[in-house]
Structure formats: C-alpha cells, structure tokens
Amino acid sequence: MESIGATDELRARVLDELRQDGRASYAHIAAKHGSTRRVVTHIVQTALEREELRITVSVSPDLLGLERFAYVQIALDGPISEARAAVVAMPETTFVAEITGSYALDAELRAGPDPHLRDTIDTIRQLPNVRELRVHHYDSIEINLYSPLRTGRTGFVVDDADRAIVRHLQRDGRATFRQLGDTAGISASGARLRLTRLTDNGAVKVVGIPTRGSHAAALTVGAGIQVRGPIGPALARVRELAPEFLAVSSGGYDLIATLSGSSHDEILHLTDQLRSCNEIARVDTWANLRMLKEQYGEGDRISAAGTAGTAR
C-alpha cells in the first residue's frame, strides 16, 4: 500500500505520538504535525497491516502483585531454541530478546514477593543449554515508555467490568467505547468513565508498541552503565537522551537503559553521547537483534484489590 502524502519524518512523528498514547486522537495528531486526519489514519493503518505496530494496553505492576524486578542476560552452549521458547512462555518475563555479544538472550523479570524472583531465576538456570546467567536487580524503574511504573499502592479496586475492558484493549487498543461497553456489559459512557479512571490512576496505559520481531525499522540497543560519583547526575544525563527504558540497578551496572532510533547513525550518536558524559565511567552496549516478547501484564491476572499474587 502506497503512502498518501506521508513523509518518513511525518510517519515517525505519528508513530511516536502513539507510543506515548495509543488512543490519541488522529485529528489531534494531524493538527499538531500539520497534516490531515486522513493521512494520519493511513499511516497508522498501514503500520498495523504490515505488523510494524500493535496498539495494546499495559497493566501496572501494582495491580498484578508484582514487586521484584530484574534484568537477566543468558549465555548458552549449543542451540538456543528450547531455552528461548521456555523464557518467552514464562509469565514472569515481560521483555525477551535475542542480542549480540557474549549472551544470546536477555529478559526482564517481574515477580511477586520473595522467593518468587529467586525461584524464577533458578528455573531459567536449569533450562537446556544454559551455561551462565548475569542478573541485575532493579532498585527502581525510572522510565518505561510502554508500561505504567510501580507506585507501591495496591488498594486500587477493580471489578469484572474493568478486567473485561482491559482484556479487550489488549486485543484492540483503539476499540470504541461502545465495543468496550458491550464486552463489559455496561454502557459506552460507563466504559469511557472506567477507562478514564484506570488511566488517570496509573493502573493501565494504552500504548503503540513497535512490533520489532525482525523489522529493521525500529532499532534498539541496551546499555549497561557504570557511573562516576553520585548516581543522580548520571541518571539526569541519561534521561536527556529520551530512553525507552531506564532503571537504577544493583549488580554489574548502576544504570540499565534501552535506546532507540530510526537509523544506525542515530543509535551511534546516542551511544557516543553516553560515552561523552563526565558522569559516566563505562558503557557496555548490545543490539537487540530480534525482540521476542514485549507484554506488560495480562488482564486475567488482575485481582479485585490489585494484588494478583504470584500464581503461575
């Protein structure tokens, strides 16, 4: 399908708007970027049809009873297919990718109270051909473009109608309020009020996630950062680079970030900026060759009081 009056720059801006808010008005996006609603709609529909984008909903860790977070790099001897499939299938993994370097796979883990995280790591260690794990515990997640952040508040009450809305949005993030209401057995206005309540309270976030299984259009690199001096100034400098993800960690790195760009030159420029920061002592980078999983919470796991437990 040919683009209708859409430049590469406009396309990138439109998709970036959806990364921030998957239900953003096409008319509002068009007005903001000097285009028309027809062109914006075409850009989005083309990206969806080519499976370059999926619009879905992410769920706050607070509603899922998740309180421990870690990043793990996995080295393997021999074929990775069996371990790869097992890691992707684990409910504790929200992000899994094949990467460059000494480690073949990496994954973000989200777990409930101890010993859930330790047990999860032990499970990965025992997968076929796994030789070594490098585990970094997150002290805090500062930025996650595609997921609400944990606040520690677990008293937010949801019911079956809320869960039905979330489940439908995971399949179709831009479903109409009428469709959401029909799914939940309530009116369209009731669905609008419930979704507004969920998003305003940080319980869910509707986002446009690039489908980056093997598409070269959305390039990302992971960065493990050791800082020089207090962590605050280094954290502020990395924030200036607009990372998709940024966490304060314990282990081999003080900070872990994901940087994205539309070209190799853009990625190289970002990594050069990192290495040029006086607040940063060392940077290790690895390319995400194929993203296998990006899924931040399932509606079926939300409990009535926002503490879904650790059932697998």
pLDDT for the residue numbered 12: 87
- The three-state secondary structure class of 70 is strand
Tell me which residue of 50, 45, 44 sits closest to 18, measured CA to CA: 44
pLDDT for the residue numbered 108: 97
CA 73 – CA 116 distance, rounded (Å): 18
What does the pLDDT look like over 35-69, one tens digit per residue? 999 999 999 999 999 888 999 999 999 989 899 99
CATH for 8-50 is 1.10.10
Residue 205 pLDDT > 50: yes
pLDDT for the residue numbered 301: 72
The answer to whether the CB of 292 falls within 8 A of the CB of 80 is: no
Mean pLDDT across the chain: 90
What does the pLDDT look like over 266-296, one tens digit per residue? 999 999 999 999 999 999 999 999 999 999 9
Residues listed for the chain? 312
**Better pLDDT: 102 or 212:** 102
What does the pLDDT look like over 215-233, one tens digit per residue? 445 689 999 999 999 999 9
Residue 307 pLDDT > 70: no
Tell me which residue of 109, 115, 114 sits closest to 137, measured CA to CA: 109
Our CA dihedral for 268, 270, 275, 278, rounded to 10 degrees, sits at 160
- The three-state secondary structure class of 301 is helix
Q: Which residues contact 289 (CB under 8 A, 6 or more apart)?
A: 97, 98, 99, 100
Residue 210 pLDDT > 50: yes
What does the pLDDT look like over 78-124, one tens digit per residue? 999 999 999 999 999 999 999 999 999 999 999 999 999 999 999 99
The reply to whether 8-50 and 62-147+212-294 are identical in fold is no
Domain ranges of the chain: 8-50, 62-147+212-294
Q: What is the residue-wise DSSP string for 16-44?
A: HHHHH-TT--HHHHHHHTT--HHHHHHHH
Q: Residue 205: what are its φ and ψ, rounded to 5°?
A: -145, 120
What does the pLDDT look like over 226-255, one tens digit per residue? 999 999 999 999 999 999 999 999 988 999
Q: Which residues contact 285 (CB under 8 A, 6 or more apart)?
A: 221, 222, 223, 224, 271
What does the pLDDT look like over 132-152, one tens digit per residue? 999 999 999 999 999 999 887
CA 308 – CA 295 distance, rounded (Å): 17
| 217-237 burial: b if 16+ Cβ within 10 Å, else e | bbbbbbbbbebeeeeeebbeb
Tell the residue number behind the tokens 């070209």, with chain if given: 263
Per-residue pLDDT band at 312 (split at 50, 70, 90): very low
Residue 13 pLDDT > 80: yes
**CATH classification (class only), 62-147+212-294:** alpha beta
